[in-house]
Amino acid sequence: MHLQFERFTLFCRDLEASLRFYRDTLGLVVVEEKALEGPMAGGLLQLPACRIRIAMLAAEMEAAVIVGLFEISQTALNSLAPPLGKPAHGQAALVLSTDRFDALHCALGAAGYRFLTPPLAYPKRTAGARSPAGLYREMIVYDPDHVPVSILQIEPLPKETTA
């Protein structure tokens, strides 16, 4: 059996607010938009007939989809109330890597998004099978639905001087 990552799907309260975060602030590109309506749309998610607006986002137009934003309307949904300020068991987080860490931090702060973890840096001196050695810069910010989004940049370790 073969499985591979397809996308991170988020059932968002407000598609436009989520697009401002993922598209306008983080810089992802909408590669597909569509809407599903009626009994088939609801049946997919064990809901009554409804409307689902969908936006698929990628790092660039020809790249693989990273995030699928799904806004469900015309039926009532429960809302999760994840804790802010610390993670909880069962809570999901999206992890993205970037080469423009400082610019994203400035844009997120200017847009008023709340951080779980402000920017910090920590060295990883030994490469692992799946992660390189380097200076890891990371911040965790909440999207409009309070999903933690970790943004990571890995830089070369500074040369250590010996006296």
pTM passes above 0.95: no
Is the pLDDT at 133 greater than 60? The verdict is yes
Average pLDDT, the chain: 93
What does the alpha-carbon distance between residue 77 and residue 150 come to, in Å, rounded to a whole number?
26
3-state secondary structure 39-102: HHHHHHCCCCCEEEEEEEEECCCCCCEEEEEEEEECCCCCCCCCCCCCCCCCCCCEEEECCCHH
Nearest to 23 by CA among 64, 59, 73: 59
Tens of pLDDT, residue by residue over 68-100, are 999 999 998 888 887 888 888 888 999 999 999
Whole-angstrom distance, CA of residue 80 vs CA of residue 22: 20
Question: Could you tell me which residue, 88 or 15, shows the higher pLDDT?
Answer: 15
Distance of CA 69 to the CA centre of its chain: 10
Q: Taking the C-alpha atoms of 123, 60, 64 and 11 in order, what is their torsion angle to the nearest 10 degrees?
A: 90
